[in-house]
Amino acid sequence: MPAPGEPDKAGQGGSRRVIGVDVARGLALVGIIIVNVFPPSAGGTATAEWAVLAGRPAALFALIAGISIALLTGGRRTPAGRAMTANRAGLALRALLITSIGLLLGPTDTTVAIILPYYGILFLLAVPLLGLGRRTLLGLSVVFAVLGPVAMQLVRASWPDMPQVQDEYSFSLAAAQPGVFLTDMLLTGFYPALPWVAYICVGVAVGRMDLTSRKVAAVLLAAGSALAAFMWLLSMVLLGPGGGLNRIVAATPLLSREEINSILIFGGNVDTSAETLPATTGWWLAILSPYTSTPVTILHTLGIALAALGAVLLLVPLLGGTAGPLAAMGSMTLTLYSAHVIVLATEILDESRPVMSITIQCIVFLLAAVLWRNAIGKGPLESVVAVSTAWLRTLVLNRGRPTRQPAG
């Protein structure tokens, strides 16, 4: 889920929002729609759509969420003092609002895992990161990408009888089981926030760079491609010549070889008798599989996201105004993602005709985004978030300042 309610002028620095970032966010939403609508398998094998996209649009969303946080808090110039305090307060409120919207969508009884509550927790975890430099953020991203999944597996191993919540979280369900809710949000859920902070760290670091520079875009494309390829190769070596797959099979007797292979292919979208990622051996952390949040998966999808962003930043200036509709769509993805969830929950589109469903949603969302942006500006939910956070930022900035007394 992207950063919602991003203003036309970003943060204290007043730098204009980067159109390429909006376009990349719009493409990420299209990818999410495709993954959510297309069946993951056909005839027992993964569909091409699943093989190419599963898990990757969500990673791009998370990366851009970090970039948006940087743009919202000064861009390349990090504020200090009271301005930083105001930014932290605004980001914390933004996190609570995103989480609340996600919990309101919980009772819709949709078939997809709603990402908004996890993203809200991610934004909350990003509050202490605002004042950090790029090198520190990149170092922390590696720490979260490696130690976060380790903590995830340790919790699963030490709490095997943890209650399993089958429904999407709502306010009532989260209040009824707060410990399980927080554990799921941070470590054991579909999009565990603690490992995913790696995307936010890199995103904030990238957002502090000059995203209008073609050199920066080329570096993102090259570095992201190299990281993605290296992590894919590393997983292949660890599982093959390194003997990891054989150790996984030996340590997980409750799963057949077919079920293990299914986890390797489908990740969090597999229906087995075990957890999404069993905690029987540390070798599970070497797999590269959608929605498993292993170190290899996180760093691979992070590389894909960086490369995709770099490619979009290079291409958008060449496209001119033709990129406008997709940028409009990318500027209000909180609203459009929520609409997408409601469309799937109400089943108003024929699930057996995924191409038609995807086409209708994308066309309607594009048209609605263009018309709304030209007529009104920010998306409906983005406006709620922007107005609320702006109010709190102003309140914090003005706190303690002497008020002017009327003359006379």
pLDDT, residue 103, reads 97
Of 68-72, 135-139, 222-226, 301-305, the least confident: 68-72
Gap between the Cα atoms of 226 and 302, Å rounded:
11
- Collapse the DSSP code of 287 into the 3-class scheme (helix H, G, I; strand E, B; otherwise coil) and give the result: coil
Query: What does the mean pLDDT of the chain come to?
Result: 90
pLDDT, residue 321, reads 87
pLDDT, residue 12, reads 36
* pLDDT over 90 at 276, yes or no: no
Question: pTM value?
Answer: 0.92
pLDDT, residue 360, reads 97
Strand partners, 9: 16
Provide the residue type at 156 as one letter: R
Q: Tell me how far the alpha carbon of residue 66 is from its chain's centroid.
A: 9
**C-alpha dist (Å) from residue 192 to 89, 100, 185:** 23, 17, 5
pLDDT, residue 7, reads 37
* pLDDT over 70 at 408, yes or no: no
| Confidence band, pLDDT 50/70/90 cuts, at residue 366 | very high
pLDDT, residue 282, reads 95
Selection from 291, 373, 389 nearest residue 332 by Cα: 373
Q: Who wins on pLDDT, 163 or 292?
A: 292
* pLDDT over 50 at 4, yes or no: no
Q: Give yes or no for a contact between 90 and 395, defined as CB atoms under 8 angstroms apart.
A: no
